[in-house]
Amino acid sequence: MENTNVKKEQVNIRFTFRKHERINKQKEIDTVFEKGEKFFKNGLLVYILKTDKNYSRIAILVSNKVEKSAVIRNKFKRRIREIFRLNKHKIKVPIDIVVVATKISVKQKYSFLEKSFLEILQDNNLLNQ
């Protein structure tokens, strides 16, 4: 009987990426840069700021200087968005996250990016166990 309850709880988790979970305004991104903490792991640069909202948000920045190819830049953004979408329910407290692409991180595979992203959150005690 207990297994059924666990399955029901897992089904209720929504693995969607909603519009309000994006940081769109430059002013909000600048606030994360100025007041947030900076973390660098395996080529992934992440700024994190705790927020008073009820949900976590993310912004992904990929400069033209980092990668000329729009296909690769967009692939990186899709990968980071997917990592956030699938793991946002594990985040303990609401935070604003800004991921800045580097020349190293743009070329990494999904599994490596996911591992690096989750390690950054885990090292800062932001993930539920």
Count CB atoms within 10 A of the CB of residue 28: 17
Q: Which two tokens stand for residue 45?
A: 């640069």
Q: Check: CATH 1.25.40.20 for 16-123?
A: no
Please give the mean pLDDT across all residues of the chain: 87
pLDDT tens, residue by residue, 82-94: 999 998 888 889 9
Long-range contacts of 37-41 (CB under 8 A, 24+ apart): 37/124, 39/120, 39/123, 39/124, 41/116, 41/119, 41/120, 41/123
State yes or no: pLDDT of 67 exceeds 50: yes
| Position 8 confidence tier, pLDDT thresholds 50, 70, 90 | very low
Q: What does the domain layout of the chain look like in residue ranges?
A: 16-123
pLDDT tens, residue by residue, 30-43: 999 999 999 999 98
Minimum mean pLDDT range among 15-24, 28-37, 62-71: 15-24
